[in-house]
Amino acid sequence: MRIRTKKDVEKLDHKIKEELGIDVQKYRNEEVVENFVELLVFPKYVINWVVRPVLISILIFIIGFFIFDLVHIEYVLYGIIGLILFLISGILIGLLFLIWKMKSDIWGILNYSLEIMKSAITDMVQVNNQVNEENRKDVLGLLFKGIIHIVTIPMISKVISDKVPLIGGIVNRIVKKILTLVSDKVKFDEEKLKKELNKKEGESNALKIYSNSISSATKGLEKIMNFTFGVAQFPLKIIFGIVFLLLILFLYLIN
């Protein structure tokens, strides 16, 4: 089940309530918000890694007036086209560095999301009997998607809008894209889980098996993180390459 729109999130929420008997939204509370605030440190380096490259690009642009042999209309062309190309290059470099630096933050967010998931599993095992042999192999994957899209992404979006200046909207889209990709790619050993649960009955055994399966899944998250960050950076790298080539060509022609 791929989640791309608000309607998809609503369907996911309904599916979890119906099949697992859990209201995931109850985990969206003030304590969760506070923990996410503590996890997010990239507002501290957003100026260094985004604003600074932009300022450096503007400085290089200004120096260009003294380096290049410009006459008449060339001053206007360089002043308009050059400024645009330098600014875009600086912004793209800043975003690429920011995504690279955000990796540790996202890792912390995912680990905390898994902790929320363990709490949800505990509640599920203790208070309802809706998990059966037919659907138990899909429990962890479905629940992880629910935590990410119903709890984590909305809470992180709120924190980013409150804490990240200037480019909060861009950062929010990047984080949302990365978390969505992770939720699509992460794998739990559902077949092994189903076999273990069939062998060992009882609430405590079930909790232990689910918990072990979640812990085991975290080992594969690093590979998924590398993949998702590569996916997030790829379009920015392509656009930067095109803009940089245009900038070099423009400077060559105007010099």
Could you report the per-residue pLDDT of 37-51, keeping only the tens digit for each? 777 766 666 667 778
* Residue 80 within a domain: yes
Residue 87 in this model has a pLDDT that exceeds 90? yes
CA 140, 143, 149, 154: dihedral to nearest 10 degrees? -120
- Show the tokens assigned to 89: 């290059």
* Residue 180 within a domain: yes
With cut-offs at 50, 70 and 90, classify the pLDDT of residue 204. low
DSSP 100-139: HHHHHHHHHHHHHHHHHHHHHHHHHHHH-----TTTGGGH
Residue 84 in this model has a pLDDT that exceeds 90? yes
**What's the predicted TM-score (pTM) here?**
0.70
Nearest in space to 116 (alpha carbons), one of 74, 141, 152: 152
Percent residues over pLDDT 70 in the chain: 80
Domain that holds residue 72: 6-254
Within 8 A by CB and 6+ apart from 138, the residues are: 19, 190
d(CA 212, CA 190): 12
d(CA 104, CA 144): 20
Tell me, what's the pLDDT at 41?
Answer: 67
- Show the tokens assigned to 46: 């957003």
* Residue 1 within a domain: no
Q: How many CB atoms lie within 10 A of CB 164?
A: 19
* Residue 208 within a domain: yes
Tell me, what's the pLDDT at 245?
Answer: 95
* Residue 29 within a domain: yes
With cut-offs at 50, 70 and 90, classify the pLDDT of residue 190. low
- Show the tokens assigned to 248: 């070099």
3-state SS, 17-42, equals: HHHHCCCHHHHCCHHHHHHHHHHCCH
Tell me, what's the pLDDT at 223?
Answer: 78
Tell me, what's the pLDDT at 198?
Answer: 58
d(CA 182, CA 108): 13
How many domains does the structure of the chain reveal? 1
DSSP 62-98: HHHHHHS---THHHHHIIIIIHHHHHHHHHHHHHHHH
Tell me, what's the pLDDT at 207?
Answer: 67
* Residue 154 within a domain: yes
Q: Radius of gyration (Cα) for the chain, nearest Å?
A: 24
With cut-offs at 50, 70 and 90, classify the pLDDT of residue 195. low
Which of 75-79, 148-152, 166-170 comes out lowest in average pLDDT? 166-170
With cut-offs at 50, 70 and 90, classify the pLDDT of residue 88. very high
Tell me, what's the pLDDT at 106?
Answer: 83
* Residue 11 within a domain: yes
More confident residue, 231 or 194: 231
**With b meaning 16 or more CB within 10 Å and e meaning fewer, what string describes 17-34?**
eebbebebeebeeeebbe
> Per mean pLDDT, which of 31-45, 80-94, 197-211, 213-227 is the most reliable?
80-94
Within 8 A by CB and 6+ apart from 149, the residues are: 3, 8, 9, 12, 180, 183
Tell me, what's the pLDDT at 141?
Answer: 81
More confident residue, 134 or 63: 63
More confident residue, 125 or 249: 249
d(CA 143, CA 109): 16
More confident residue, 156 or 255: 156
Nearest in space to 143 (alpha carbons), one of 16, 4, 7: 16
Tell me, what's the pLDDT at 9?
Answer: 87
Residue 127 in this model has a pLDDT that exceeds 70? no
Residue 128 in this model has a pLDDT that exceeds 70? no
